[in-house]
Amino acid sequence: MERRQLEFFLAIAEAGSFTSAAARLHVAQPSLSYAVRGLERELGGPLFERHGRGVRLTPAGSALLGPARRVVRGFELAAGAVRSVSDEGFGRLRITSSTVWAVEPLVPVLAEFRRIQPAAQVVVTDPQHRSDVLDQVRKGEADVGLIDGAPPRGPFGSHRLAEHELVAVLPPSGEAPEEIGIEELAEVGLIATPAGTALRTFLDARLEAAGLPTEVAIETAHVASITPLVLARAGVAVLTEGMARAASRAGAQVVPLTPVTRVSVSVVWLEGRGDALVDQFVALAQELTDP
């Protein structure tokens, strides 16, 4: 069993087809098929079965998925550990974060990290749901994650990066009130991200607390479209202070929510992994955000 075989296996499992995986890896599809057949012969059974236009994992393939990820990540850790003590410095840091936290508080920490580790490759991904962050860190699919709410229990280390207040963002018309409640926003029509995302989770909690249905006028998966929609008078939104400042510069009105809602954001990682880049990133985050 070779590292390349496992990398091919993981690429196919993630892409859902040999064709897509071959394109992603920039290899010929016959080479991919040959490598997987060799892996299947060695393991004694098929790892994929045809499903529609693509493939899906067999029970044997599902059983291999977690161990394969750990083995491939082990190779990356070994290479990173050696290179991190060389003069050149090198490595790959994978961060998973909801889009809203990937802007603030991640940006200043990431900018400083790049200044001290210019050769490191950083990949920031956006999980479909906020609950996926811990799962990805636990499974080794991400090195660190940004989460909101209480620090997690279990094998995780965590450090609070920031606390954000949620505010209302209104169209640029009329005189803005000094403060506004969720009931008034719901009457106008809320613009929000899909259920399960960080901002939507807090919005739904406020609606439920007020005895209102968790329904919005416009649901968009693109956070970047919320402010333009508000400016176009399509509705109103609830955003973090940082995002609201940008909306204000574009002409939107920003109004405090009543009652006040604050959200704490933490960086999380798996304890005891021995990854030099992760340790350096965490230490830097602590240094930059400690009082």
Which part of the chain is CATH 3.40.190.290? Answer: 163-264
Looking at per-residue pLDDT, the higher value among 275 and 80 belongs to: 275
Is residue 14's pLDDT more than 90?
no
Residue 236 — very low, low, confident or very high, per pLDDT cuts 50/70/90?
Answer: very high
Range with lowest mean pLDDT among 9-13, 105-109, 193-197, 287-291? 287-291
Q: What is the pLDDT of residue 215?
A: 92
Q: 3-81 — its CATH code?
A: 1.10.10.10
Is residue 18's pLDDT more than 90?
yes
Is residue 80's pLDDT more than 80?
no
Token pair, residue 180, equals: 């506004």
Q: What is the pLDDT of residue 87?
A: 45
Q: What is the pLDDT of residue 79?
A: 64
> What average pLDDT does range 128-150 have in this prediction?
88
Q: What is the pLDDT of residue 83?
A: 57
Is residue 84's pLDDT more than 60?
no
CA angle 29-32-35, nearest 5°? 150
Tens digits of residue pLDDT in 224-235:
999 999 999 999
The helix (H) or strand (E) run that includes residue 105 is none
Is residue 53's pLDDT more than 60?
yes
Is residue 186's pLDDT more than 90?
yes
Long-range contacts formed by 216-225: CB under 8 A, 24+ apart: 216/189, 216/190, 216/191, 216/192, 217/189, 217/190, 217/191, 218/189, 218/190, 218/191, 218/192, 219/192, 219/193, 219/194, 220/191, 220/192, 220/193, 220/194, 221/193, 221/194, 223/99, 223/100, 223/193, 223/199
- Architecture of the CATH domain 87-159+265-289: 3-Layer(aba) Sandwich (3.40)
How deeply is 188 buried, as exposed, middle or buried, from its count of CB atoms within 10 A (0-12, 13-18, 19+)? Answer: middle
Token pair, residue 167, equals: 């505010």
Is residue 48's pLDDT more than 80?
yes
User: CA 157 to CA 282: how far, in whole Å?
Assistant: 10
Residue 105: which residues within 8 A CB-CB, separation 6 or more? 146, 161, 162, 265, 289
Which part of the chain is CATH 1.10.10.10? Answer: 3-81
Is residue 119's pLDDT more than 90?
no
Residue 69 — very low, low, confident or very high, per pLDDT cuts 50/70/90?
Answer: confident
**CATH T-level assignment (fold) for domain 163-264:** D-Maltodextrin-Binding Protein; domain 2 (3.40.190)
Q: What is the pLDDT of residue 154?
A: 80
Q: Work out the mean pLDDT of the chain and round it to a whole number.
A: 89
Tens digits of residue pLDDT in 20-30:
899 888 889 99
